[in-house]
Amino acid sequence: MPEQSKFGILALYTLHVLINKLHIPIGELVAADPKLGFVLHAQGIKFYEHADSTVSAISSKYAFNLKQFIRQADWQYQYQLLKDPLSLNKHSAAHVIDYLSFMHRLFIKEKLPYFSTIIQDFHHTTDDKRIADLKWAFPYFQEDFVHHIFEEEDHLFMYLRQLAKSIEEKKVSSKLMMDMEKCSIKDYSLHHLLDDDEMAGIRSLTNHYTHLPTDSLELRVLFFELREFEKELNFHARIENEVLFPKALTMENNVRMLIRNNRNSN
């Protein structure tokens, strides 16, 4: 039975801790903490092409910004400190939407291109079925995922911002009234629940991201990152289901009440 190799993940980087690791070969550094592969990618460095070099060495050779690398490594852990979706309840719906939009940009502009780069860089001569399947399937997954995010931004989030604006201004535009006739938060939430398991296909192709200790570093890091990405998506969905939609229902009801009050006063 294949075993899933376990990475020793550091809890949180500090400037002192990371500086002490800048002279360790990148292959060892990323094997110990796969999240650093993503941080290096953000600096334009493919960790699997520089496995024998050190961060200090490539910083000189490639005009690599060490301070930015350290800042981003620290941020990579900081932004994941939010553990309970309900902790966002203390914020307004507008702030929750801003947070979710920020995560959407991170997924689309940074995470998915990172995964795609690793997959496309795998040698074409490999007979590993997992890699062949990912090379074929991942572009379709990426396209569908981006389409889903844009739909959510262009329809649901736009609708919620209209609701918030109406409540703030105490007036309802004719466009919003027409939108409320065509859809509702209950419709959005039901559709969202049906679409929650976006990683099902990738999870199946990779046998739940299972890998061997003998697999290449890039494959082990990729499967680690895909598993982490699925956790992020599940957490993201919980924020929408447990925090955003209840707030949105309240806003929608408040706008309906505002419409009734305006009609009664005329």
Q: Are residues 159 and 231 in the same domain?
A: yes
Q: Are residues 128 and 253 in the same domain?
A: yes
Q: Are residues 48 and 90 in the same domain?
A: no
pLDDT of residue 251: 95
Q: Are residues 126 and 248 in the same domain?
A: yes
Q: Are residues 124 and 46 in the same domain?
A: no
Q: What are phi and psi of 214, to 5 degrees?
A: -85, -10
Q: Are residues 116 and 39 in the same domain?
A: no
Q: Are residues 73 and 116 in the same domain?
A: no
End residue of a domain, out of 56, 81, 106:
81
Q: Are residues 70 and 104 in the same domain?
A: no
Q: What are the tens digits of pLDDT across the range 1-24?
A: 333 333 333 333 444 566 677 888
pLDDT of residue 124: 62
End residue of a domain, out of 49, 64, 81:
81
Tally the domains of the chain: 2
Closest CA to 7 of 256, 227, 174, 239: 227
Q: Are residues 92 and 72 in the same domain?
A: no
pLDDT of residue 52: 95
Q: How many residues can be counted in the chain? A: 266
Q: Are residues 72 and 179 in the same domain?
A: no
Alpha helices (H) along the chain = 15-19, 26-32, 35-42, 55-61, 66-78, 93-106, 112-121, 129-151, 158-169, 174-182, 185-194, 200-205, 217-239, 245-265
Question: Per mean pLDDT, which range of 77-81, 132-136, 197-201 is the poorest?
Answer: 77-81
Distance CA 119, CA 131 (A): 7
Beta bridge partners of 25: 54
pLDDT, the chain, mean: 84
End residue of a domain, out of 81, 99, 124:
81
pLDDT at position 184 over 50: yes
Q: Structure pTM?
A: 0.84
pLDDT of residue 10: 39
pLDDT grade, residue 88 (50/70/90)? confident
Q: Are residues 52 and 135 in the same domain?
A: no
Helix (H, G, I), strand (E, B) or coil at 116: helix
pLDDT at position 266 over 70: no
Q: What are the tens digits of pLDDT across the range 200-247?
A: 999 999 999 999 889 999 999 999 999 999 999 999 999 999 999 999
pLDDT of residue 121: 94
Q: Provide mean pLDDT across the span 152-158.
A: 93
pLDDT of residue 49: 93
Q: Are residues 20 and 124 in the same domain?
A: no
Residue 180 sits in which domain range? 86-265
pLDDT of residue 261: 85
Closest CA to 19 of 62, 48, 54, 45: 54
* Residue keyed to tokens 């309840």: 89
Q: What are the tens digits of pLDDT across the range 157-170?
A: 999 999 999 999 99
